[in-house]
Structure 1
Amino acid sequence: MTSVASTRHRSGPPLWRRTFRLIRDNARAYAWLNVGAYGLTAVGFVLGIVFPDLNAARADALENDGTAGLVQELVLTPPLFALVILAVNIGKVGLGFIVLPSLIVPFAGLGLFAYFAVETGITLAPTSPVAWVQLIPHSLTLIIELQAYILLLLGAWLLGRHWLFPRTIGAPTRRRGYLRGLQRMGLLAVPALSLLVIGAIWEAISLRYFIHPLAEWLL
């Protein structure tokens, strides 16, 4: 019994508890990141409605790069569709827009994600009755995925802060601060990944099974 207790003591609190403690300790930054992420997406959404040409340009871009066609092909196979959604959300958005730029330039991921959030809002702006119906289940997808990105953004913010101002966390050098920030980003990446998995599954299922019945019921 003593050895088990000592092992638990050495291993420290569980991962989920450390993650929530980290968020709680940085509650103000986390709150502002929520306001920024959801707010900028809402700004893009309004722009897409007020200026339909912006939404049309995004639709043309998705058509030209093959994204729209790929969605149409995969939507009938939810498991494969969910895997593709997850790969895009992790690779393009999570790593490409947030994590990797922040590893090179402090806070770079925050600026890049701000652009992505506005662009996403423009893309989602409904231009037809069916598009409004699609937004009903997709709004939950948006909430889940943005929350995952916000956790990564918090990690990027902590990395930049610890990197530039290492003494605020008691680190003697910027290198130590960078490593401490990297550890905290990794800690936040675990729940972010879990949310992205949930979001991908929900998006694939909702697009396959919910849109058509909702449209028939509401339109």
Structure 2
Amino acid sequence: MNLLLQPFPIIRADVRAYLLINALVYGALLLGMGLAMIFPDLHAARTSSFVDGGQGALVDTVIGSPWTFGVTIFLVNVFATALLLIVLPSLVIPFAGLMVFVIKTIDIGIILAPVNRTSALILIPHSPTILIEFQAYVLVMFGAYLLGRSWLRPATVGATTRRQAYVRGLSRLGRLWPTALALFVIGAVYEAVEIYFLVPLVLGT
């Protein structure tokens, strides 16, 4: 339990940055949705690309089992997105992962946009998934931000060298991960329940 509470002192120490990252992430999602509603062809093109591409094929492979689906969602969120898109770029270039994920989030918003009645109805049960999983991403992005700031401004973590500051930034990032992982687990479980039970209920199928 103590591991899950570690982010709170870190957030309290820099609540403004945490709130700004929240605004950046959810704002990017809403921007993507807005673009899709203004340009329906953009939504159609991205949705078609998703369905016909590797991600769509992966969904088709695992959709038969709620357990397999939930585990796959968790693995994709943690490894393919949080680690690959946010953490790894930020380990090399300060704040790079933040920019990469913002672009990714705009694209997600384009795909999830409520451009018709069906997609609007699906968005109702899917909204908790968005809130939970994206809050996990926010924690990872917040850690990436703290790493980049420590790296560029060692004095913010009481370090005298960039190397020392980098290590301390990594430590803060690591302390945010247990809670992010817990949120990813909750999000994956809920998303499985959503897909198999809530969406059919909402759509009347």
Shorter-chain TM range is over 0.9
8 Å contact from structure 2 (residues 4, 178) kept in 1:
no
Q: Which deviates further from its counterpart, 164-173 or 67-76?
A: 67-76
8 Å contact from structure 2 (residues 126, 194) kept in 1:
yes
8 Å contact from structure 1 (residues 75, 204) kept in 2:
no
| Secondary structure, counterpart of 2:204 in structure 1 | helix
8 Å contact from structure 1 (residues 166, 177) kept in 2:
yes
Q: Which deviates further from its counterpart, 92-101 or 72-81?
A: 72-81
For 1:57, give the aligned amino acid.
A
Distance (whole Å) between structure 1 residues aligned to residue 89 and residue 119 of structure 2? 33
For 1:14, give the aligned amino acid.
N
Closer/same/farther in 2, CA of residues 18 and 59 from structure 1, 3 Å limit = closer
User: Could you tell me how far 1:68 is from its partner in structure 2?
Assistant: 2.3
1:137 aligns with 125
User: Aligned pair 1:154/2:142, yes or no?
Assistant: yes
- Say which of 111, 135, 155 aligns to 2:99: 111
User: Could you tell me how far 1:210 is from its partner in structure 2?
Assistant: 1.1
Distance (whole Å) between structure 2 residues aligned to residue 164 and residue 202 of structure 1? 39
1:84 aligns with 72
For 2:90, give the aligned amino acid.
S
Stretches of structure 1 that go unaligned for 5 or more consecutive residues are 1-12
1:188 aligns with 176
User: Aligned pair 1:29/2:17, yes or no?
Assistant: yes
Distance (whole Å) between structure 2 residues aligned to residue 209 and residue 70 of structure 1? 20
1:63 aligns with 51
Q: Which deviates further from its counterpart, 33-42 or 63-72?
A: 63-72
Distance (whole Å) between structure 1 residues aligned to residue 116 and residue 57 of structure 2? 19
- Say which of 189, 204, 210 aligns to 2:198: 210
1:199 aligns with 187
Deviations 1:61-97 (A, max 9, x none): 1123232243244333111001111111111210111
TM-score by length of 1: 0.89
Distance (whole Å) between structure 1 residues aligned to residue 156 and residue 182 of structure 2? 30
8 Å contact from structure 2 (residues 3, 179) kept in 1:
no
Provide the identity percentage: 43
1:171 aligns with 159
Closer/same/farther in 2, CA of residues 138 and 160 from structure 1, 3 Å limit = same
Aligned residue pair count: 205
Q: CA RMSD in A?
A: 1.6
TM-score by length of 2: 0.95
For 2:149, give the aligned amino acid.
R
Distance (whole Å) between structure 2 residues aligned to residue 117 and residue 155 of structure 1? 18
Which structure has the larger Rg over C-alpha atoms?
Answer: 1
1:42 aligns with 30
Deviations 1:159-179 (A, max 9, x none): 001111112221111000000
For 1:15, give the aligned amino acid.
L
For 1:132, give the aligned amino acid.
A
Distance (whole Å) between structure 2 residues aligned to residue 127 and residue 68 of structure 1? 20
Stretches of structure 2 that go unaligned for 5 or more consecutive residues are none
